[in-house]
Amino acid sequence: MPVRGARGGTPRETASRTVVEDGLVEVTEGLVGPLLLARGTIDRSAALRQHPERLEKVWADDERTRVVLVADGRAPIGNDGESAELVLLRPSQAPAGDRYLLGVDEQGVTYFAVRPADGVPGEIPGGVPDRARWEGLRRAGSLLGDRDAGLLVNAVALEAWHSTHQHCPRCGARTEMTAGGHMRVCPQDGSQHFPRVDPAVIMLVHDGDRCLLARGPQWPQGRFSVLAGFVEPGESLEQAVIREVAEEVGVSVTAPRYLGSQPWPFPRSLMLGFFARATSTELRLDPAEIAEARWLSRAELREAVEGEELMLPGQVSIARRLIETWYGGPLPGDWFGTTRPE
């Protein structure tokens, strides 16, 4: 649906092919900027998971197999503030621990993640550069290349699942990891359990001229984002958008429009992004969910972020992409108080 442009001006042309006609802006496809956690390039190689003997053979190939260490959502990363890359070890350099198959790239290199059994090693093995340190996706995600971003999202998501789902939900027995880390099996009743993904809707609510941004009760002053919430059992995505907005801010919305998705493995969400048009604008906040909410025109939004009165989510988030897509181009600053993520 067309939404009105800022100050009658011309928002920067972007990859989303924002169209400006007579002061009306229509986003005709996609989001402004890439979804930085949805960039994997390697083949996830589901077939290989089913062959334990082939997995062992690939693991034994120290020349063509590489390993990402993962612990508590972080991995060793070389980061100079401009770009970042995963520290990739040979299998012979990796510490003992659970092993997850991540996939195979076009050159035939197979990638595994290893969760060290003895926790985070004090020193990163393998003679890595001095600049390498343990980092997570929120900070390093926007600086990693496509391959590494995809590898790390996969590794972090699998690690988070295994670390919290070690017992059978039927009988309580301790389950065993199998299928290259993509399944757990109960030794008592044979039930199979797969990595969980929890769908969550995240929506930019607008009334044509203004967008609605809000601050959660635990967030510091000035941190704002769009609304979001988990999809409930028996609910469609569109119903979840309408319900969440009504619950959190008391606003009615119509015609949710899907714009894209990306994994958000903190610990296991899949964020599904929408625009939704408000049919009412009076705010009735649920204080358990929302401390503060504001309607902002594009000009007001720009002024607020330039003055650091209002800080937007980081570049890796789909929230940021939704806000900049509605605005029509990049905006400065983020929750970390920097113009560029660290």
Which residues of the shown chain bind Zn ion in the complex (CB under 5 A)?
168, 170-171, 173, 186, 188-189
CB closer to Zn ion out of 37 and 179? 179
Provide the minimum distance between the beta carbon of 173 and Zn ion in the complex, in angstroms, as a whole number.
5
Provide the minimum distance between the beta carbon of 65 and Zn ion in the complex, in angstroms, as a whole number.
33
Provide the minimum distance between the beta carbon of 191 and Zn ion in the complex, in angstroms, as a whole number.
5
Q: How far apart are the first and last CA of the chain?
A: 35
CB closer to Zn ion out of 57 and 196? 196
Exposed, middle or buried, 323 (CB in 10 Å: 0-12/13-18/19+)?
buried
CB closer to Zn ion out of 129 and 172? 172
- In one letter, which amino acid is 244? E
CB closer to Zn ion out of 52 and 187? 187
CB closer to Zn ion out of 188 and 254? 188
CB closer to Zn ion out of 138 and 184? 184
Sheet holding 183-185, edge to edge: 176-178, 183-185, 192-193
Provide the minimum distance between the beta carbon of 178 and Zn ion in the complex, in angstroms, as a whole number.
14
For the chain, where are the E strands, in sequence order? 3-4, 18-21, 24-27, 65-69, 74-79, 84-86, 97-104, 110-116, 132-136, 176-178, 183-185, 192-193, 198-206, 210-215, 227-230, 253-264, 269-278, 292-297
CA nearest neighbour of 112 among 23, 198, 177, 27: 177
Which two structure tokens, joined as six digits, stand for 184?
A: 């757990």
CB closer to Zn ion out of 92 and 192? 192
Q: Distance (Å, rounded) from C-alpha 41 to C-alpha 33?
A: 18
What is the full DSSP assignment across 272-320?
A: EEEEEEES-------TTT-SEEEEEEHHHHHHHHHTTSSBPPPTTSHHH
Provide the minimum distance between the beta carbon of 161 and Zn ion in the complex, in angstroms, as a whole number.
17
Provide the minimum distance between the beta carbon of 172 and Zn ion in the complex, in angstroms, as a whole number.
7
Exposed, middle or buried, 81 (CB in 10 Å: 0-12/13-18/19+)?
exposed
Provide the minimum distance between the beta carbon of 259 and Zn ion in the complex, in angstroms, as a whole number.
40
CB closer to Zn ion out of 189 and 198? 189
- Helices 318-327 and 298-306, interaxial angle, to 10°? 120
Provide the minimum distance between the beta carbon of 167 and Zn ion in the complex, in angstroms, as a whole number.
8
Q: Distance (Å, rounded) from C-alpha 302 to C-alpha 313?
A: 14
Name the 3-class secondary structure at 93.
helix
Sheet holding 18-21, edge to edge: 3-4, 24-27, 18-21
CB closer to Zn ion out of 9 and 172? 172
Provide the minimum distance between the beta carbon of 166 and Zn ion in the complex, in angstroms, as a whole number.
12
Question: Can you state the percent helix, strand and coil of the chain, rounding each to 5?
Answer: 20, 30, 45
